[in-house]
Amino acid sequence: MADKKKFNEITLLKMLALLSVLFFHCYRPFFGSGSYWKVVIDGNLDYLSWLLHFNKLFDVHCLFFCSGFLFFMTMAAGNRSVKDQLVKRVKRIVVPYFQVGLLYLIPLYTIFSIPSGLHLASDSLLEGYEKFCTMMFSEHLWFLQILLIINVICLLTHFAAKRWFWLLLTGSFLLTLLFNWGLKGVYFMSLQSLSDNLFIFVLGGAIYRIYSRLTPGKNLALTAGSLALFLTAYNIPVEKGQMSALLSQIAAGSACVSAFCFARLFADRVMDYIGKFRAVQFYDRNFMAFYLYHMPLPLIAAMYLYEPFTGIIKSDLAYVFFAWALTLGVTTAAVKADLLIRKGTGMIMAKLKGPEASQSKN
């Protein structure tokens, strides 16, 4: 059960969740305020506002859910010590974070004068680097920040999770109250998002632990139960605060569980079919790279292509799909360029190390 390829539902969910994230970033400029997201678009997509609520509950939460599932699966395999796992996680998260941020994200935001969050359109390259290195601006890379913190928390508590996993799950849920109150308004490293995603991450591990016991009948029952819980929690009218945060956690968690269980019903057949296509294989192999490189392409499109496009095709919805397709296409080119650079760098390093290796053998 340690083979990731066996979990087609996780593969399918994470690919759909990322496509949802990309689509969200393409229509989000229509609903933003100030200089954060609404760059130049004054169109009317109010009829798609329901997608905002859907994305908040599904896309990134689902990515954390899938990450938690795979994390606890890896830990259960026991092939590496906690120390080795920690070193591996730091390398896989911290290195891409700074590499993409310093060499790709900040230069593009500076060249195209993109205003977003704490990054001003007038910020220089040096000011962009300063905000990035002090964790005051990272745009979509906040995902890696929080993922690293959650990984460290779960690694440090792994000894307890072996015997008291369900206590860890309950504790991560109750921490929502503490984090929602204590980290309110905190922007450093997007720590306010920690309360939303720690529980979802551990919940993914909980589903992994019961995976082998999910017979078709139990799977259907869990699908129906989690969907009913989602609809109940989502439709309870409460004022914004700690109670709304708890209900949001319940709704997001049940939505992820329901999506996972539903995906189990057809994931194998779907992946057996679409998995044959090279484009799908490439997308699956470079899943994280697509996430890293897709921004700020939607914002660049909003700033420079929205008015010319709608001047020809007077449809905001058509523009959203155009921006989505453009983002996928350009991101694919960026990912391929990154792979070529890595391959070339690897060949150069191999040639440089070759003579040294042969001398050491002699």
In the predicted structure, residue 234 carries a pLDDT above the cut 90: no
pLDDT at 361 over 50: no
**Amino acid in the structure at residue 125:** L
Q: Is 351's pLDDT higher than 90?
A: no
Ranked by mean pLDDT, which of 194-208, 254-268, 339-353 comes out on top?
A: 254-268
338's enclosing H/E stretch is: helix 316-361
| Listed residue (88, 92, 134, 132) closest to 110, CA to CA | 132
Q: What is the pLDDT of residues 11-67, one digit of tens each?
A: 999 999 999 999 989 988 887 665 567 677 777 787 777 777 777 777 889 999 999
Residue 118: which of 49, 35, 191 has the closest Cα? 35
pLDDT in tens, 309-320: 999 998 989 999
pLDDT at 154: 84
205 Cβ contact list (under 8 Å, min separation 6): 68, 69, 71, 72, 154, 161, 165, 169
Q: What CA–CA distance (Å, rounded) separates 247 from 225?
A: 16
For 229-276, give the DSSP string: HHHHHHT----TTHHHHHHHHHHHHHHHHHHHHHHHTTHHHHHHHHTT
The model's confidence at residue 348, banded by pLDDT at 50, 70 and 90, is confident
